[in-house]
Structure 1
């Protein structure tokens, strides 16, 4: 939706829970919840196992789980756009189940040292990194566009409810049966999501090759994803807002186990109670999110979330009592889900299908990278200056991000990622082979008198469109003999890549930008295609 600040993040429609009425979304949501509960139970067991080793090593659990995203997110995004996403998800979930089983066996046999635990946590993080972009990319296909915001909010509710239930159950298991049982339950939890994925039959995915077009190769697809993000101001701004929120907010997740033990004097069950308060806040935040977003828009929601989360961190830093901590964590849960849902919905509304997983990979790279590096930094600060100081500094970072919203808001304007077939087919005497190229496309325009400045301005958006969809070079030239005559040139690496511009990448927004420029012409432009001459 477009709020009062112009931040367009998808029109909220219906209730906060409306996506759960759709069977496939509901089944996958419940299966993911089961798996997330198991993951959080394991996290509690792992962190509690390392509490005696100090704050720095406890924070390494978050680092080990998040660091793989820095190296694998982009390749995973390419894979998810090129291969069957359902099969990729099945393989990754099965691999993570095997790693979790190995962790369980080592724990029960008494062979699980701290560094082995961190290494296996890192492997699970690798599975999550390879799984993440594909999972993000399938979500918009499960609900109508009008429900994307609620679907994004329910995804965050899923994680935060699991963050509440999982640690609570994990604390009980640690206190009664031992750490090993948290790992065992996590290994078993993968069976739920594997069962749903095995029976799910998605429809045909966007991006299948068309006539004259080959399926992208890995390196070419990676470069295409990078070009798209570089030429998409809306996506870049979403990534920036994530980078300004996550590193400060992650201090809560990295340091809460230490705060629970040292400042509040709680055991494993008490730590689970604290995370239960986060889950309660998440549910409340999700229920209020549609109405909130209609009232204040995307930027208002981000500003409110950052301010409330910073206040919760300050409360934990200066008021170490259980009642204060519980209230602060309820507020933090609501703020966390508001920020993540706003950013995620804005991303999914803006990304076209052909690059959805790669765009999501960049988002996950920023999110998990900020989480990993932030956890490391706050762990070190807490080790040397104390948990309270670390949380206070993290609050200051969050407030700095809130203040930056005035100059760096989410971008409004057009966001129509649906495919368009409005680009006319090229007229050719000879059909090139898919691998032939590079291709030089030349478009000649005759601009109406007095409209040259407006035409040049409109063509800036056309340039971004060409680059997003595959152009590696672009130029706009004015004829010195006929000032009304402009020539646009752009180069694409192959004929297959140019066919992809026509069929699989040209969206409604791209067509709107081109239409704006063409309204300033005296007649339709002429187009030529030239191929590199091979000697």
Structure 2
């Protein structure tokens, strides 16, 4: 079939993977991704940034308890962190797929540094109220929403596919290593020097990430296609996800987990202050216990994935989170609450990492940033709603009751796995296929010319019709998912063996982009169709451009 260009030439340029290991990488080792220098440096720099962010969260959460006695406002500190990730993540995904990810991450880090500096200055001067604190926390979250899709979508460029699950786990483990130390350190800093000191330290910790990104020089391939418009790119990402049942199941389960499990983070300041009668140090210790549990989960996750199916591990995480939430609500001593928080941390890391890995392994590179951002939208929408709901319930019914109800929702999430189960790990090759030559139109058209209609003719014997229709159902999903619309299949009335597949794209550039998105796994579908086709030549594509049914030069009036 000759209905598309060379994907290697027309795919959106990406940072070429820096995949030559400096040290020996053990294929099954949890730490194998550290053999790759760029990944290792970014991971280390992220430790500092995560440490600062966690200290900032402790400062913001504790400062809010001194600015207001409203449980809702305290819980909404966590909500102000997650809301931007729910609202802006998809835009961040578009940036990740259409711009150099290094530049996107640098811009986001610089923005967060500036906002954090302003927050530190205003809080130090005593000019910050409850709503101002939420506004600045929200702004920092906006920077994170733009940064995170680019970072997550860059991981497959930094390590080979066989090390991708470990790399994702290490990212989560790095964050939770800092969660095990950062909150406790934040509690000490807040107790000794006040919340403004925590904000100052957070401002400083953006600098290592900016420095590493500035020194990173990813190679880029030339790209003959114009950049995809933002609106079109947004629709493409949502269309791709909507046509994949596996992606939708993962995202919905992530939303349920986010809404139910966020209660442990949203209500933890109230547990520390009211249930345990503690200080900022107590709050930091509980968060540290949560982080310690997450680190433990990351260390054993490879063995769990070797022994159990992904869905089984996620169900176990839902149940473990439910048990931990109930125990946290009933805890009467710091050590009891710490054990409960540790169990919650194990469940949090296990489920969140597996949602992430499942998406990464099932998504081609051209749309990975947008799909990862959609996962964030689902997850953090659930977390934002949960922060408000559990804060309201804690205010009206008490801390223990709110945690019990959120635990019940966790159990519902586990039962949902019977229907909305996570897919098994796929071995499909999602690399660009790259075996087509761009057609050369003889008409004078531009990249913006269109609409374009494409038709492909097949010759299918009667005894192969059912197999052909089954293959074309898969073909339809591939076409629509990769940017086509108005897909149809026609059968000739006088020659029943003759079939025509037709679809449309808005412009010539959109057609070339559509063809560049074909993966090696998609090409297997074409091979199936070739085996069913009985023509002397392969199925031939014809491309048409829509023109008005009027002469370009009007005849003179008589």
TM-score, length basis structure 2:
0.89
**Partner SS, residue 488 of structure 1:** strand
Q: What CA distance in whole angstroms lies between the structure 2 residues aligned with 1:214 and 1:178?
A: 51
Does structure 1 residue 363 correspond to structure 2 residue 363? no
**Paired position in structure 1 for 2:107:** 91
CA distance in 2, matches of 1:295, 1:477: 48
* 2:262 counterpart SS class: helix
Deviation at 1:423, TM superposition (A): 4.4
Contact 2:62 2:280 in 1 (8 A): yes
Alignment partner, residue 7 of structure 1: none
Alignment-derived partner of residue 12 in structure 2: none
CA separation in 1, counterparts of 2:410 and 2:528?
Answer: 39
Q: Which moved more, 1:177-186 or 1:61-70?
A: 61-70
Match of 2:428 among 415, 418, 422: 415
**Number of the residue aligned with 2:498:** 485
**Matches for 1:20-35 after TM superposition, within 5 Å:** 20-35=34-49
Q: Distance in 2 between matches of 1:411 and 1:487?
A: 33
CA RMSD of the aligned region, Å? 1.8
* Mapped contact 1:477–1:488 kept (Cα < 8 A): yes
Aligned partner of residue 541 in structure 2, secondary structure: strand
- Deviation, 1:426, is 4.0
Q: CA deviation at 1:438?
A: 1.1
The offset of 1:171, in angstroms, is: 0.5
Tell me the SS of whatever aligns to 1:67.
Answer: helix
Give SS of 1:375's match: helix
State whether residues 120 and 200 of structure 2, in contact with CA within 8 Å, keep that contact through their aligned partners in structure 1.
yes
Q: Find the aligned partners of 1:442 and 1:424 in 2 and give their Cα distance.
A: 17
Matched with 2:457 is: 444
Shifted more, 377-386 versus 432-441: the winner is 432-441
CA contact (8 A) 1:225 1:355 kept: yes
CA contact (8 A) 1:425 1:502 kept: no
| Per-residue deviation, 1:170 | 0.7
* Distance in 1 (alpha carbons) for counterparts of 2:496 and 2:421: 38
The equivalent of 2:75 in structure 1 is: 59
Deviations for 1:310-346, whole angstroms, at most 9, x for unmatched residues? Answer: 1111111234333322222222212111111111111
Aligned pair partner of 1:15 in 12, 15, 29? 29
Deviations 1:236-295 (A, max 9, x none): 222122112111111111011111221222211122111111222112111111110111
Query: What pairs with 1:519-534 in structure 2 (closer than 5 Å)?
Result: 519-523=531-535, 524-534=538-548
Deviation at 1:425, TM superposition (A): 4.5
Q: 1:278 to 1:70 in 2, by over 3 A?
A: closer
- Secondary structure in 1 aligned to 2:493? coil
- Residue pairs, 1:275-314, within 5 angstroms: 275-314=287-326
Local SS of the residue matching 2:433: coil
Residue of structure 2 in register with 1:38 after alignment: 52
Q: 1:237 aligns with which of 241, 249, 260?
A: 249
1:468 counterpart = 2:484 = no
Structure number, greater radius of gyration? 2
Cα offset for 1:186?
0.4
Q: Secondary structure at the match of 1:450?
A: helix
Please say if residues 103 and 183 of structure 1, whose CA atoms lie closer than 8 Å, have aligned partners that are also in contact.
yes
Measure the CA separation in 2 of the matches of 1:108 and 1:399: 44
Number of the residue aligned with 1:350: 362
User: In 2, Cα distance between the equivalents of 1:521 and 1:224?
Assistant: 31
Please say if residues 163 and 275 of structure 1, whose CA atoms lie closer than 8 Å, have aligned partners that are also in contact.
yes
Deviations 1:201-224 (CA, angstroms, capped at 9, x unpaired): 12226xx633xx322122222222
Task: Name 1:160's counterpart in structure 2.
Answer: 176
Alignment of 1:384-423 (within 5 A): 384-412=396-424, 415-423=428-436
Tell whether 2:237 aligns with 1:225.
Answer: yes
Q: Is the 1:443–1:528 contact (alpha carbons within 8 Å) kept by the matching residues of 2?
A: yes
CA distance in 2, matches of 1:25, 1:320: 43
SS in 2 for 1:203: coil
Is the alpha carbon distance of 1:99 and 1:427 closer, same or farther for their aligned partners in structure 2, counting shifts above 3 Å? Answer: closer
Matching of residue 138 in structure 1 with residue 150 in structure 2: no
Report how far residue 479 of structure 1 moved.
Answer: 2.2
Which whole-Å CA distance do the structure 2 matches of 1:492 and 1:320 have between them?
Answer: 63
Deviation sequence 1:382-429 (CA, Å, 0-9, x none): 110111111111111111111111111123456332111234644744
> What is the CA-CA distance between 1:55 and the residue it aligns to?
1.5
Q: What is the rounded CA distance, in whole Å, between the counterparts of 2:245 and 2:432 in structure 1?
A: 19
Aligned pair partner of 1:250 in 262, 279, 289? 262
Per-residue deviation at 1:135?
1.6
Alignment size in residue pairs:
519
Query: Structure 1: where are the runs of 5+ without partners?
Result: 1-11
Instruction: Report if aligned partners of 1:237, 1:408 keep a CA contact under 8 Å in 2.
Output: yes
Distance 1:445 1:278, change over 3 A: same
SS of the residue corresponding to residue 219 of structure 2 reads: coil
Deviates more, 1:351-360 or 1:512-521: 512-521
- Partner SS, residue 441 of structure 1: strand
Q: Residue 458 of structure 1 contacts residue 517 of structure 1 at CA under 8 Å; is this kept in 2? A: yes
Alignment of 1:49-128 (within 5 A): 49-52=63-66, 53-128=69-144
Relative to structure 1, is the Cα distance of residues 455 and 225 closer, same or farther in structure 2, using a 3 angstrom cutoff?
A: same
- Preserved contact between residue 86 and residue 379 of structure 2 (Cα < 8 Å): no
Distance 2:413 2:528 in 1: 35
**TM-score computed with the length of structure 1 as normaliser:** 0.93
SS in 2 for 1:437: coil
